[in-house]
Structure 1
Amino acid sequence: MASTQFTSQKTLAASGARPGTTLAAVSVVQFMVSLDLTVVNVGLPRIGSGLGFSEVGLTWVIHAYALTFGGLLLLGGKIADRYGHKRVMLTGLGLFGLASLVGGLAQAPGQLVAARAAQGVGAAALAPAALALLASTFPGGKERVRAFGIWSGVNAAGGAAGVLAGGLLTQYAGWQWVMYINLPMAALALALAWRGIAQDGPSTRRGRPDVLGAVLATAGAALLVFGVVRTEQHPWTSTATLTTLAVAVVLLAAFVQVERTTKRDPLIRLGLLANRSLAGANLFALLFGGAMASLLYFVSLYLQRVLDSSPARTGVEFLPFTLGVIIGSTLAVRLGYKFAPRHVLITGGTLAAAGFAWFGLIRADGSFLVDALGPSVVASVGIGLCLAPTVSIATGGVAPHEAGAASGVLNSTRQIGAALGLAALGTAANDRTGETITPGTLTDGYALGMLAGAGLLVCAVLIVVLVLPRPERAVTEEAPKP
């Protein structure tokens, strides 16, 4: 094994790759992509009043990004494998930065929604390409554990820091800066990737691309997310929702059939999905994504609508959550030297579920220190423990030329899980509160949503126990000294 790692390092050095710079570039990319999932949340009221959004139209500032991001991730992973991970990442960075500039300059609702959709397209190219670069640069051993630990920390910190940055920027600089903040990060990532990542080899354009499969997969995934997020306006049992979801299922079933029978280069090799590690990691990510999205959503509303915190104060109150995720990610690295990822995942999922259940005890006459701080720390540490093992399990047994496809599947599953979970738990919370907006009824709805999130995490832990294969042996290498 040591010989294999030494050979891999020599190959990277000969190609001009700098593993440290590659890790830095991928970390900046992931932080930026994760931050954009949450940075606009706290600023939505001022965005709505500033551009004249309707109450229903305002939600599309969030959904436009989630739809294109989640719906195009699978295609982005395949394109990255086909045309080169570095090429696709640089292209995605350029599009993401340009879309952020256009969004900050928007003067009408349609312009901002279009810019957010373009950001999602750029992110769908960035995320799988960056993750594939990380997996191929650090193929195994202690360096892989450390690299994925750092990646998971910045991934979660980006999502949580988005709430903090969104609140502070909206209140003190103007809502436009929730878009402009991406420009320096995109420029930094471009500079790091240009100099530190090895050049891609010749493009692997063998055979004709599976255009039909790409259209079916992208349309099916996007329509599934679209149908679920619209349940805020159309109930689950309405004709519009049922028809949309039914068409999405038909499109995804047609995609599977096309991938089985096509003579072209398939969008994804279906044999990948038969891998127990990849399948189990994706099932876990589906439930985990729904739970985490619900926490950020419900806690943000609880702090502002019930405890009457300002946007800036709400952002500051999310700092313990961000620190907890970083601590959990650091612990995952240390534990990864001695225990298999499966065991770390079980521990983290259980701890996160306990934090969610604790959030289910929030009170209408409560306070941040008594009702939110404790469960926020417990849940965030558990979340941090889960991030790196999930990715490591999903990509560990995949060939380098399929790493982009595998990471695209994982990221797409997580985003779709976030949309599905938040829509379902949000509907449950709204049913509990009804038309009233008193602190007591709002708190009851938010508490129900958090308890349901705890249930999702319990199911995710059961999937790890029952689906993921047991390791032959745990990692026994001694952890390096700080």
Structure 2
Amino acid sequence: MSTQIHAESAAPPPDPSVRRHERLVMALACVGSFVVILDATIVSVALPGIRASLGFSAATLPWAVNAYTLAFAGFLLLGGRCADVFGRRAMMLTGMAVFTAARTVGGLAATPEMLLAARAVQGFGGALLMPVTLSLLTATFTEPARRARMLGTWSAVGAVGAASGPVIGGVLTEWAGWRWVFFVTVPIGVLALAGTVRALPRHDAPGRRPRLDAVGAALATAGLTGVVYAVMRAAVAGWTSPRVVGPLAAGAALLAVFLLHQARWAREPLVSLTIFRLRAVSSGNAVMFLLGLGFFASPILLSLYLQDVHHWSPLRAGLGYLPVGVAMFAGAQAAGPLTVRLGPRRATVACCLVGAAGFAGVAAFLGVDGSYPLTVVVSGGVFGFGTAAAFTPITVAATSGVPPARNGLAAGVLNTVRQTSGAIGLAAISTVSASAADGWAAAHPGRGGGEAPPALAHGHTVAFLVSAGCVAAAALVAALTMPRDGRRPGGADRDGGGP
């Protein structure tokens, strides 16, 4: 399939029943994406209430978030492959049912162990669910321009989920109690299950069901879990801690064995490495990794800046992030038409450059006396718009030319890269921020140490400069490696970027 996006030519209007089916599929994909992304951010502001109610220790409390993130990242490749092997309907039902049931158990949890187990199962359900939402869109909307617009809407809904999590969580925790942070999406999950039964065909699995590479799935899950666990621990224990180095080395070794298994030993590999011979797929995932490194730490960094430097409450800080969330929604909505007009490569480069400029603006205006309108509303709005808009052309590129039987795999790989880069970026940039704050405190004795507002502001400034560098690097890699936006459907790549 070409990566060039052309405007739709005049054609007879489709059957109304087809349009209704497409709208329902689109709604299911957006709902699945929304609840999974929302769940990654909504719990954070409820942590003090959870600790007071269930008796979490300070050391174990972060795992109310980390247990979800770890399971989600570890099982994404398996979830993507399951959509290809067992069919999108089966995995949509399974993923949504597991996810919704685990949220219910989490809301009813009476002990820390019960909540942590529920959060891990939620992450597993999310890993089954997220790839199939993208696979549904790429399989249903095959015309390039419509696919770009649908992916833009899907990305916009995900942006709303990410930005609204702290706000919804803060409101529910303050007015209804922390348990409603879990209960709030349960009715949505039940409705989504009913919609899946109605909208998706029963027999959408391949005629000959391929084998599920159990050995590959175990190696990939264990390896990804080890790497993500290590980078999450690094923000607390430091990169040289044995608790970081050990899991990181083990995870990397398991991933190396996984790649060897896929290339030489697996009869039907979990990840067919030939998919990376498609230039659009390999370059799209590389750009996604760099974008994720720079972007996914930004909500937490801004929230900590507003709370630690300006002494805002968690709820006020969540509401303070809303302008960035609005800009992200606008960027994701604009991304579809922009991708149609410019093509994936040029759209990616332009959007990443806008995002990098926004991050640099935050770093320039951020400080103890930094202006909220300039720092968050203007500069935060610029990076929110640019980075959110970049996800759509990258997704279009990274799923282009993939055979229908591999749609779920391509979605699982892209989501794995995005989630893993986010975890690595959060750990690395948080470490950079803390080190810069300590360095400032050492250079300015008697000013309150590394926890003083001036030191923290300096640390956040350096962190946002690093984020700007990562997103600018994504623009450069996109310009140099993504296929040119000049191919015609069915034609050869003019710059030799074929499989």
In the alignment, what sits opposite 1:480?
Answer: none
Indicate conservation of the 8 Å contact 1:340/1:474, yes or no. Answer: no
TM alignment of 1:24-173, pairs within 5 A: 24-173=27-176
> What letter corresponds to residue 97 of structure 1 in structure 2?
T
Tell me, yes or no, if structure 1 residue 262 matches structure 2 residue 265.
yes
In the alignment, what sits opposite 1:479?
Answer: none
Change (3 A) 1:186 1:304: same
Which of these residues, 480, 485, 488, is aligned with residue 471 of structure 1? 485
In the alignment, what sits opposite 2:26?
Answer: 23
Indicate conservation of the 8 Å contact 2:287/2:477, yes or no. Answer: yes
> What letter corresponds to residue 98 of structure 1 in structure 2?
A
Indicate conservation of the 8 Å contact 1:344/1:386, yes or no. Answer: yes
> What letter corresponds to residue 140 of structure 2 in structure 1?
T
Which of these residues, 341, 346, 351, is aligned with residue 343 of structure 1? 346
Q: Name the CA distance, whole Å, in 1 between partners of 2:116 and 2:322.
A: 29
1:228 positional shift: 0.9
Q: Name the CA distance, whole Å, in 1 between partners of 2:168 and 2:279.
A: 39
Tell me, yes or no, if structure 1 residue 245 matches structure 2 residue 248.
yes
> What letter corresponds to residue 459 of structure 2 in structure 1?
G
Indicate conservation of the 8 Å contact 1:69/1:121, yes or no. Answer: yes
Q: 1:260-307: CA deviations, max 9, x gaps?
A: 123532101110122211111111111222222210110011112222
Indicate conservation of the 8 Å contact 1:5/1:140, yes or no. Answer: no
Change (3 A) 1:233 1:316: closer
> What letter corresponds to residue 267 of structure 2 in structure 1?
R
Q: Name the CA distance, whole Å, in 2 between partners of 1:3 and 1:309.
A: 49
Change (3 A) 1:136 1:6: farther
In the alignment, what sits opposite 1:187?
Answer: 190
Indicate conservation of the 8 Å contact 1:72/1:121, yes or no. Answer: yes
Q: Name the CA distance, whole Å, in 2 between partners of 1:123 and 1:130.
A: 11
Q: How many residues align?
A: 472
Indicate conservation of the 8 Å contact 1:291/1:456, yes or no. Answer: yes
3-state DSSP of counterpart to 2:45:
coil
Q: Name the CA distance, whole Å, in 2 between partners of 1:474 and 1:264.
A: 35
Indicate conservation of the 8 Å contact 2:80/2:412, yes or no. Answer: yes
- Between 1:132-141 and 1:254-263, the stretch displaced more is 254-263
3-state DSSP of counterpart to 2:270:
coil
- RMSD, matched Cα: 2.4
Indicate conservation of the 8 Å contact 1:307/1:367, yes or no. Answer: no
Change (3 A) 1:207 1:156: closer
Q: Name the CA distance, whole Å, in 2 between partners of 1:133 and 1:6.
A: 23
> What letter corresponds to residue 222 of structure 2 in structure 1?
A
Q: Name the CA distance, whole Å, in 2 between partners of 1:299 and 1:53.
A: 26
- Between 1:272-281 and 1:361-370, the stretch displaced more is 361-370
Change (3 A) 1:327 1:4: closer
1:206 positional shift: 4.2
TM alignment of 1:434-473, pairs within 5 A: 434=438, 436-473=450-487
3-state DSSP of counterpart to 1:303:
helix
1:136 positional shift: 0.4
Change (3 A) 1:3 1:469: closer
- Between 1:350-359 and 1:43-52, the stretch displaced more is 43-52
Indicate conservation of the 8 Å contact 2:321/2:376, yes or no. Answer: no
Indicate conservation of the 8 Å contact 2:324/2:376, yes or no. Answer: no
In the alignment, what sits opposite 1:421?
Answer: 425
> What letter corresponds to residue 394 of structure 1 in structure 2?
A
Q: Name the CA distance, whole Å, in 2 between partners of 1:151 and 1:359.
A: 27
Q: Name the CA distance, whole Å, in 1 between partners of 2:320 and 2:241.
A: 38
Tell me, yes or no, if structure 1 residue 334 matches structure 2 residue 337.
yes
- Between 1:16-25 and 1:442-451, the stretch displaced more is 16-25
Indicate conservation of the 8 Å contact 1:77/1:407, yes or no. Answer: yes
> Where does the alignment leave 5 or more consecutive residues of structure 2 unmatched?
1-5, 439-448, 490-499
In the alignment, what sits opposite 2:416?
Answer: 412
In the alignment, what sits opposite 2:284?
Answer: 281
TM-score (norm 1): 0.93
1:63 positional shift: 1.2
Q: Name the CA distance, whole Å, in 2 between partners of 1:188 and 1:133.
A: 18
1:33 positional shift: 0.9
- Between 1:16-25 and 1:178-187, the stretch displaced more is 16-25
Which of these residues, 315, 318, 335, is aligned with residue 312 of structure 1? 315
Q: Name the CA distance, whole Å, in 2 between partners of 1:144 and 1:372.
A: 32
State percent identity of aligned pairs. 37
- Between 1:364-373 and 1:130-139, the stretch displaced more is 364-373
Change (3 A) 1:5 1:29: farther
- Between 1:426-435 and 1:399-408, the stretch displaced more is 426-435
Q: 1:426-468: CA deviations, max 9, x gaps?
A: 1111112236322111111122211111111011111101111
Q: 1:152-207: CA deviations, max 9, x gaps?
A: 10011111111211121122221112111221221232222222223333555546
Q: Name the CA distance, whole Å, in 2 between partners of 1:69 and 1:330.
A: 26
Indicate conservation of the 8 Å contact 1:277/1:394, yes or no. Answer: yes
Q: 1:332-361: CA deviations, max 9, x gaps?
A: 122223210111111111111111111113
Q: Name the CA distance, whole Å, in 1 between partners of 2:177 and 2:282.
A: 43
1:26 positional shift: 0.5
> What letter corresponds to residue 485 of structure 2 in structure 1?
P
1:95 positional shift: 0.6
Indicate conservation of the 8 Å contact 1:77/1:129, yes or no. Answer: yes
Q: Name the CA distance, whole Å, in 2 between partners of 1:274 and 1:220.
A: 23
In the alignment, what sits opposite 2:390?
Answer: 386
3-state DSSP of counterpart to 2:451:
coil
Indicate conservation of the 8 Å contact 2:235/2:428, yes or no. Answer: no
Q: Name the CA distance, whole Å, in 2 between partners of 1:284 and 1:315.
A: 29
